[in-house]
Amino acid sequence: MSQDLAIEAFLEFLNGCESGIMAARQRLKEAKPPKKETPSVVEQTFLCLKFEPQQGQRIGPYDVAYEPQNLPSNWTHAMNILKANNAVIEKRYRGPGYQYSYWLFGDHKIYRQKLK
């Protein structure tokens, strides 16, 4: 008889474990995935470049930095960040707290536009 009680207690234990596992699975399904933020650098990396104002019919005011008018170390660092993140006009680069979005188009130019 005591063996039957032990088996019954063990089965109740397993049933409780299964309920706990099922509840944990449900919580995981309902949990929102963590928001993925693109790693960013401080905006000073880009603000130290020399930009010239421009005006476009479609996008309005924006600025352009040309490679020959900037220090090579500053230029290379900013360019590498934008290339690594595939920053184009449709997928601009910006980080939390940035004043501007940045992108590449053509060689030896970095573009930026004030965020709204």
The per-residue pLDDT string of the chain (116 residues; one tens digit each, 9 = 90 and over) reads 577 777 777 667 767 767 767 777 777 777 766 665 555 689 999 999 999 999 999 999 999 999 999 999 999 999 999 999 999 999 999 999 999 999 999 889 999 999 98
Q: Is 102 helix (H, G, I), strand (E, B) or coil?
A: strand
Looking at residue 1, its pLDDT comes to 55
pLDDT computed for residue 14 by the predictor: 63
Residue 35 CA to residue 45 CA, distance in Å, equals 25
- The b-or-e profile of 5-33 (16+ CB within 10 A means b, else e) is eeeeeeeeeeeeeeeeeeeeeeeeeeeee
pLDDT of residue 47: 96
pLDDT at position 39 is 53
